Structure 1
Amino acid sequence: MTVWLHFQAPEMREWQCIFDYISKRGRVGEENGIKFIIHTSENGHNKPHIHAQYQQKEVVLEIPSGKVITGNINSKKMKLASEWVVTNEAFLKQKWNELAHGVYYFC
């Protein structure tokens, strides 16, 4: 996990929130053209989830069930994305916990 240095210079402090935001997002996989990205702090849903992106469309899936929370992609790709989440459950739980900065959802 990336740990950003805290900036001491006043002109650099404004960048801290940008680096913090970037560090809370993590691309964790790609399969069959589907990109899997974890965002741990978002408005509207903070429970463990993953974004699956395919051809400029996106679906948000629950970790670990693979159940669709929101969004829509090609139905064949959505099924593959859901299966990928279930198959990679342990890895995704670990990555979520790492990216959530000490807020553990999975023990």
Structure 2
Amino acid sequence: MPTISMFYGIIIRMYCAPKEHNPPHIHVYYQDNKAIIDINKVELVEGNLPKNKLRLVLAWVELRKEELLADWELAQNGELPFKIDPLK
């Protein structure tokens, strides 16, 4: 699962496998916390993150939604997704 972005100790990854289950989502890791974020709805689907880190991730997803969806399409075709600029 390639890392597509990292910021403030948060690691963002996306599975790169044909026919990965919908809806489009990312996997987020922060210390011992794991979460799955729905890209279209910009919301937590599974897991947990500290509230301040969750807010950062959701803001980043909102800003980078088009790039994330483009990466999702690549991943669905078994291609490696592009790196996406971190939250600054």
Shorter-chain TM-score range:
0.7 to 0.9
Q: Which has the higher helix share?
A: 1
TM-score (norm. length: structure 1): 0.63
Identity of aligned residues (%): 24
Are positions 1:88 and 2:71 aligned together? no
SS of the residue corresponding to residue 39 of structure 1 reads coil
> How many angstroms does 1:56 deviate by?
2.0
Are positions 1:62 and 2:38 aligned together? yes
CA RMSD of aligned residues (A): 1.7
What does residue 86 of structure 2 align with? Answer: none
Runs (4 or more) in structure 1 with deviation over 3 Å come to none
Are positions 1:46 and 2:21 aligned together? yes
Q: Cα deviations across residues 50-94 of structure 1 (Å, max 9, x unaligned)?
A: 011100211100013321100001110011111111111011011
SS of the residue corresponding to residue 49 of structure 2 reads coil
Work out the CA distance in 1 between the residues paired with 2:4 and 2:14. Answer: 7
Paired residue for 2:52, among 69, 76, 81?
A: 76
Work out the CA distance in 2 between the residues paired with 1:71 and 1:79. Answer: 14
Greater relative contact order structure (CA < 8 Å, 6+ sep): 2
Work out the CA distance in 1 between the residues paired with 2:32 and 2:51. Answer: 15
Larger radius of gyration: 1
Work out the CA distance in 1 between the residues paired with 2:59 and 2:40. Answer: 10
